[in-house]
């Protein structure tokens, strides 16, 4: 199949859309997990590193401030025990400050400040060693006035250095606090951005799902509904179905159309069969004329609805038994068809003509007078008499017919006339026509004879119920 003729089926489209939605969900999940991981790292750094740096800076400030107090205690101590206790405490605090300053992160302190902190720490260490020596000499009472003055100067210098260390560490603590605030704001910004991204991604997924739903509604649901409505219409029009396409619904539509066409063909065939059976039920299969059953039904309708007099006639082919006996029934059938054709052409299309059985025919139609009816059948008689029946390979057949006719007067019938009285009126008319036909046969055949008296619809209505045929 060429590229232009290729179309994805519904399964492929469904799998594709499902895969895209799943891919979006997985992507959103991965994106969210990655975002939470970054936020977790930032929070962990803030809680472990930054907060630790802040607490370390605050502790250095506190220890530096305590060094000031210890230096003052050392310089004002009155007893040897006070001096020893202040010196030991001063050494411990200095060692602790040294350790904490060595752990300061360089990212919170610029190089110049870091160098100054180290210089102050170095000077503090030197002053502590000097103080240790001078205090030891004083305890041993080896200091003179000059050394005592030097001890006082060193203590004062130590307090100044401790104060400077406190100020520097306070600045470091402030820098750490600013860094923590900045990182907190950054975390909040990251959270807001991730929230916005997640909302945008969720909106995109929802829109994609809606678009997919609309697409499947238009390409699947609506097409199936159109097919359903097309099937439910009566009659079903195959032009309402989708005839083009390569996907499953188009193929299903084509299959349904194929079944509908077959059903319609079968229905048409059954209708034709029923029509043929209906025609055969009320028509003679040989001549195509109405049979006795159809004749009676049509005659009763004509008698009930007609406003003019009605002619009832019977026709019998003369010596037809001899044709069957001498020439065979096949030739007799052709002769019957020829006579039926001549009778049909001699009457109007609205007139009712039937084959009563064998070689006998009956007719009923509206007419003005009995004389007019006589003229119609006389013309038909002459036509039959003068028309040879030619059969290939057979000698020509000449036939004649005898006719008996009567007329029903005093029409129309009352609307309330029952079917039984109409049937009785028809029977009287057929009896009168049959008597006229008998007269034609008795007088030598090939004649049109009329009944002596017309059949009166009024008389039948008034007193004909007791008469039998």
Q: What pLDDT, in 10s, does the model give residues 397-454?
A: 999 999 999 999 988 888 888 899 999 999 999 999 999 999 999 999 999 999 989 9
Is the pLDDT confidence value at 59 over 50? yes
pLDDT tens across 298-350, in order? 999 999 999 999 999 999 999 999 999 998 999 999 999 999 999 999 999 99
Residue for token pair 């309402």: 240
Contact 343, 361 (CB under 8 A): yes
User: What mean pLDDT is reported for the chain?
Assistant: 79
> What value does the CA radius of gyration of the chain take, rounded to a whole number of Å?
65
**Given 1.20.1420, 3.40.50, 1.10.3470, 1.10.10, which CATH number is that of 10-212?**
1.20.1420
Q: Read out DSSP for 347-411?
A: S-TTSEEEEEETTEEEEEEE-S-HHHHHHHHHHHHHHHHH--B--TTS--B---EEEEEEEEESP
In this prediction, residue 53 has a pLDDT band, given cuts at 50, 70 and 90, of low
Tokens of 370: 């009995």
Q: Give the strand pairing for 360-366 and 352-357.
A: antiparallel
More confident residue, 1 or 280: 280
How would residue 6 be classed by pLDDT, with cut points 50, 70 and 90?
very low
Contact 424, 464 (CB under 8 A): yes
243: exposed, middle or buried (C-beta count within 10 Å: 0-12, 13-18, 19+)?
Answer: exposed
396, 388 in Cβ contact below 8 A?
yes
Q: Is the pLDDT reported for residue 114 higher than 50?
A: yes
Average pLDDT over residues 281-302: 90
> What pLDDT score does 64 carry?
65
Q: What is the pLDDT of residue 3?
A: 42
Domain locations in the chain as residue ranges: 10-212, 283-466
For residue 254, pLDDT beyond 50: yes
Task: Give the pLDDT of residue 382.
Answer: 97
Q: Fold match between 10-212 and 283-466?
A: no
More confident residue, 401 or 269: 401
Which of the two residues, 464 and 220, has the higher pLDDT score?
220
pLDDT tens-digit readout, 119-153:
777 777 777 777 676 666 666 665 566 666 676 67
Task: Please tell me the least confidently modeled range out of 157-171, 316-330, 388-402.
Answer: 157-171
Percentage above 70 pLDDT, the chain:
74
Q: Which residue has the higher pLDDT, 208 or 385?
A: 385
Residue 277 binned pLDDT confidence (cut-offs 50, 70, 90): low
Residue 164: predicted pLDDT: 72
Q: Higher model confidence: residue 93 or residue 263?
A: 263
CATH code assigned to 283-466: 3.30.70.270
Q: Greater confidence, 33 or 407?
A: 407
The stretch 100-129 carries a mean pLDDT of 69
Whole-Å CA distances, 321 to 16, 129, 175, 326, 331: 86, 165, 139, 9, 12
- Which comes out higher in pLDDT, residue 171 or 205? 205
The answer to whether the beta carbons of residues 57 and 172 sit under 8 Å apart is yes
**Confidence at residue 107, expressed as pLDDT on a 0 to 100 scale:** 59
Residue that wins the pLDDT comparison between 427 and 38:
427
DSSP-derived 3-state class of residue 256:
helix
- Residues 208-247: tens digit of each pLDDT: 888 878 877 777 778 788 877 877 877 777 777 776 777 7
C-beta atoms surrounding 375 within 10 Å: 13
Interval 153-182 mean pLDDT: 72
More confidently predicted of 343 and 171? 343
pLDDT band for 177, please (50, 70, 90 cuts): confident
Q: How far apart are CA 63 and CA 94, in angstroms?
A: 8
Neighbours of 358 (CB within 10 A): 13
Kindly state the average pLDDT of the residues 162-187: 73
The structure's pTM equals: 0.49
Residue 283 DSSP class: B
Of 104-113, 157-166, 240-249, 344-353, the range with the lowest mean pLDDT is 104-113
pLDDT surpasses 50 at 15: yes
DSSP per position, 33-89: HHHHHHHHHHHHHIIIIIHHHHHHHHHHHHHHHHHHHHHHHHHH--SHHHHHHHHHH
């Amino acid at each position: 199949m060429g590229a232009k003729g290729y179309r994805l089926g519904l399964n492929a489209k469904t799998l594709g859309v499902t895969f895209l939605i799943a891919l979006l969900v997985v992507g959103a999940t991965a994106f969210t997990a990655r975002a939470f991981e970054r936020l977790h790292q930032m929070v962990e750094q803030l809680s472990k590193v930054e907060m630790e740096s802040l607490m370390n800076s605050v502790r250095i400030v506190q220890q530096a401030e305590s060094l000031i107090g210890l230096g003052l205690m050392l310089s004002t101590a009155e007893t040897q025990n006070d001096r020893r206790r202040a010196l030991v405490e001063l050494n411990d605090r200095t060692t602790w400050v040294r350790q904490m300053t060595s752990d300061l992160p360089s990212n919170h302190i610029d190089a110049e400040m870091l160098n100054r902190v180290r210089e102050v720490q170095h000077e503090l260490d030197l002053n502590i060693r000097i103080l240790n020596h001078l205090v030891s000499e004083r305890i041993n009472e080896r200091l003179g006035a000059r050394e005592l003055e030097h001890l006082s100067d060193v203590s004062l210098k130590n307090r100044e250095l401790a104060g400077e260390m406190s100020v520097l560490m306070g600045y470091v603590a402030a820098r750490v606090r600013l860094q923590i605030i900045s990182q907190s704001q950054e975390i909040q910004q990251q959270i807001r951005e991730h929230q916005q991204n997640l909302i945008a991604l969720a909106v995109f997924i929802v829109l994609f799902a809606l678009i997919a739903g609309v697409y499947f509604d238009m390409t699947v649901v609506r097409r199936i509904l159109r097919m359903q409505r097309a099937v439910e219409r009566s009659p079903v029009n195959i032009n309402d179905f989708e005839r083009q396409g390569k996907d499953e619904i188009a193929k299903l539509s084509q299959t349904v159309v194929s079944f509908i066409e077959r059903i319609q063909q079968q229905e048409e065939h059954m209708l034709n069969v029923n029509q043929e059976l209906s025609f055969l039920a009320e028509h003679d299969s040989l001549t195509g004329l109405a049979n006795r059953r159809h004749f009676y039904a049509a005659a009763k309708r004509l008698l009930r609805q007609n406003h003019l007099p009605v002619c009832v006639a019977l026709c019998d082919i003369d010596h037809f038994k001899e044709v069957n006996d001498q020439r065979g029934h096949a030739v007799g059938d052709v002769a019957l068809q020829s006579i039926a054709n001549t009778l049909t052409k001699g009457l109007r299309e609205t007139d009712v003509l039937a084959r009563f059985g064998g070689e006998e025919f009956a007719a009923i139609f509206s007419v003005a007078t009995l004389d007019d009816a006589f003229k119609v059948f006389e013309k038909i008689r002459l036509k039959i008499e003068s028309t040879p029946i030619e059969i290939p390979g057979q000698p020509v057949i000449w036939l004649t017919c005898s006719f008996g006719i009567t007329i029903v007067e005093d029409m129309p019938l009352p609307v309330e006339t029952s079917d039984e009285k109409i049937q009785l009126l028809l029977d009287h008319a057929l009896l009168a026509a049959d008597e006229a036909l008998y007269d034609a046969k008795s007088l030598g055949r090939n004649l049109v004879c009329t009944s002596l008296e017309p059949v009166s619809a009024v008389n039948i209505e008034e007193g004909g119920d007791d008469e039998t045929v």
